[in-house]
Structure 1
Amino acid sequence: MTAHKIPLALASAALTAGMSLATLAEPMPSTVATLVELGYPAPQEGELVHIPPTMADLEKADLHPETKEVIRRGYDLFTNTQQLRGENVFNEMNCSSCHLGEGRQPFSAPIWPAAVTLPSYRGKNDHVNNLEERIAGCFAYSMNGVPPEYGSDDMLALSAYHQWLAKGAPMYPDQPIYGRGFPAPERPEKLSYQRGEELYQAQCAICHSEDGSGLYQDGEYVFPAPWGDGSNNWGAGIVRTETAAGFIKNNMPLGQPLSLSDQQAWDIAYYMTRQERPQDPRYTGDVEETLEKFGPTFHKNSSYGQVREHDSHVLGDHANWGEKGDEVTPWNVGQSRFEDLKEK
């Protein structure tokens, strides 16, 4: 077995609960050493390296039993968000579909940084967001759904799980965070839809189907749909080509991270993000108007509103809302905050 074919989950086996290293003067944790062996970059001096605790660590933690139960509920919702299908989720996604390794995995947008960097300003909705609001955004866009209410049992449980994973990390860290987000490789000079399609069929279709509809067994999905009605909508972060390229490069094919070249990762991302999906819930009724309104803060990095090369189709020019239909609207989209401060 080559290093690139070692499942990244193996790198989680030796985690030490709540460990954070502010500089490289500290010994490198074994899990980070494993990542480096797989080909991921080593932490740079001054980067914050945090090793999230596991659910096994939770059992040994000195927390009230009811607190542990709520954190377990958050973990259950995070890894099986489909249990909220038809109420809060209207596609084939779980939170863990994008945030791999139970939300703990570096270079797969681990979720613990949200717990220590929020509340903070977010350009996507042009105001300061707290942790619950950030989670709500994932429901509205990535799940093509409707978020649980702020303060509800499910929202509290998901927040508690995020914060459990952040145990031991400093609040509002001054250092860059190692392995945060989906860091993309440098964009090649030219991207190819045709190459991307060929690569997708060769490398991705076995899990995600030739038509991007995902993989089902016994009526339940095993691997999510990268486009189409069962996928995330046009407002989800991963529909941006750079974000998709970062996810693919660092995590795909599953169990073979970093096995694709930078060009291959970008070409597959380009192909996938130029397929149709449910409408952005911020849609004004006109794709050009929506693009003009949200292009500067979000869609400048997506294919939304662009003309697809091979068939002249305008991407996003539709009123298709996927499974949730046109009568279900995420209540959190368009909410403003601190208007009194802006007036000052």
Structure 2
Amino acid sequence: MTTRMHAAIPAAVALGLALTFAAGAGHAADDLRAQKELAPSPDAGEAGYHQAPSPDAIPDGAFGDSVRRGREAFIHTRKNAGQYVGNGQECANCHVGGGTVANSAPLWGAWPVYPKYRGKNDHVNTMDERIRGCFTYSMNAQDSEAGHPPPPDSQVLKDMQAYMFWMAQGLTVGKAAPGRGYKAVPKPDGGYSIDRGKTVYTKECAICHGDDGRGRFAADGTQIFPPLWGPKAYNWGAGMHRINTAAAFIKYNMPLGKANPAAAEGVLSDQEAWDVAAYINSHERPQDPRFEGDIASTDRDWHNHTCLYGDERDGHTIGTGAKAQ
């Protein structure tokens, strides 16, 4: 739904998508599903951002082997955990640089703040469950060969957590690190325009992601650039379907190789980032796994944030979903 909350909402953080409980004592039971974004991460200051160790420094032995497998699973998810991936995405599409880059949802920024409560599923999540959630929403695991995300405590989840733990060494447990998540982009005073966003997309994005938003793949199926909508994109439950989250990612990460998230240097203006985020997220994608049988109730219960799910556009109700092919 178009936001019915505050006019400006900070970007989602911690693996790009972490949420906290927003309900207070005495609220109605439905408020258990209320969500609000985490506060922005602190400024880096003179100390700068955390620097993850080089892959060359991964130790030998069983632990090092697990770290290496976890790194490969994050960067080449469809190759190394493909039975749980139901679309054309890789974890590294949202966590660039193998999850090492500040202000691009670095994996080291998420590790110190878990376990934590998440309003998205209304209970305390371990990191094991948090990653399973990424498979469920961003990787659309329900359409995968397995039909579900990796089982709890499975080897791939252990390996991914080993990689995160190794990268986060030196950070303080329970304390938010500068550069965690995406750097928020204020909502423009005039809001956003899907039509303007189409113009931005055509000029800046289509060359890589295609005019149809379906991404680009090699003949053997290897992803070159990820799909942004359609059946191989992230689904309607993924954090990236939020316009503010997508705007924050786009502003400081796209076009790839031109923007610099660690330096908080963008190519697009704030307005352009919001407009193109709205255009991308005005297109259909796989259905929200929390779908309750109709768009209206799913919208009411799970989409009370800055998104287009449930909105009407050109005689179409956004959120019908794109079927797997």
**Class of the TM-score when normalised by the shorter of the 2 chains:** 0.7 to 0.9
Equivalent residue number for residue 228 of structure 2: 226
Paired residue for 2:267, among 259, 265, 271?
A: 259
Structure 1: gaps spanning 5 or more residues: 1-40, 324-344
| Within-5 A mapping of 1:56-205 | 56-59=56-59, 65-83=61-79, 87-145=83-141, 146-173=148-175, 176-188=176-188, 189-205=190-206
**Which is higher, the Rg of structure 1 or of structure 2?**
1
Aligned to 1:275: 283
> Percent identity, aligned pairs only?
42
What displacement does 1:153 show?
A: 1.0
User: 1:23 maps to which residue?
Assistant: none
Residue type of the alignment partner of 1:301: T
Distance 1:312 1:49 in 2: 47
Cα distance in 2 for partners of 1:202, 1:219 equals 28
For the Cα contact (< 8 Å) 1:119–1:130, is it kept in 2?
A: yes
Q: Secondary structure at the match of 2:121?
A: coil
RMSD: 1.8
Which residue of structure 2 aligns with residue 336 of structure 1?
none
State the 1:223 CA deviation: 0.3
The residue identity in structure 2 corresponding to 1:280 is D
Per the normalisation by structure 1, the TM-score is: 0.75
Shift of 1:85: 6.5
Is residue 316 of structure 1 aligned with residue 319 of structure 2? yes
**Distance (whole Å) between structure 2 residues aligned to residue 263 and residue 131 of structure 1:** 34
Aligned to 2:37: none
**Aligned counterpart in structure 1 of residue 241 of structure 2, from 229, 239, 242:** 239
Q: Following superposition, which runs of at least 4 residues in structure 1 exceed 4 angstroms of deviation?
A: none
Instruction: Note the 1:32-43 alignment, pairs <5 A.
Output: 43=44
1:312 Cα deviation (Å)? 2.3
In the TM superposition, residue 314 of structure 1 has moved relative to its aligned partner by: 0.6
Other structure's SS at 1:304 match: coil
Name the CA shift for 1:85/1:112 in 2 (closer, same or farther; >3 Å): closer
Between 1 and 2, higher relative CO (CA 8 Å, sep ≥ 6) is seen in 2
Q: Alignment partner of 1:87: what SS?
A: helix
Amino acid at match of 1:235: G
Q: What is the alpha-carbon distance in structure 1 between the residues aligned to residue 136 and residue 323 of structure 2?
A: 12
Contact 2:284 2:320 in 1 (8 A): no
> Deviations along 1:52-111, whole A, 9 cap, x unmatched?
11211214xxxx611100110001111110125662001111100110011011111001
Amino acid at match of 2:185: P
* Matched-pair contact (CA < 8 Å) for 2:81–2:156: no
- Look up the match of 2:208: 207
| Aligned AA (1:247) | F
Distance 1:315 1:85, change over 3 A: farther
Q: Which of residues 305, 309, 312 is equivalent to 2:310?
A: 305
Unaligned runs of 5+ in 2: 1-41, 142-147, 260-265
Q: 1: CA distance between counterparts of 2:81 and 2:126?
A: 25
Find the aligned partners of 1:57 and 1:84 in 2 and give their Cα distance: 22
Distance 2:159 2:193 in 1: 43
Letter in 2 for 1:317: T
Amino acid at match of 2:161: S
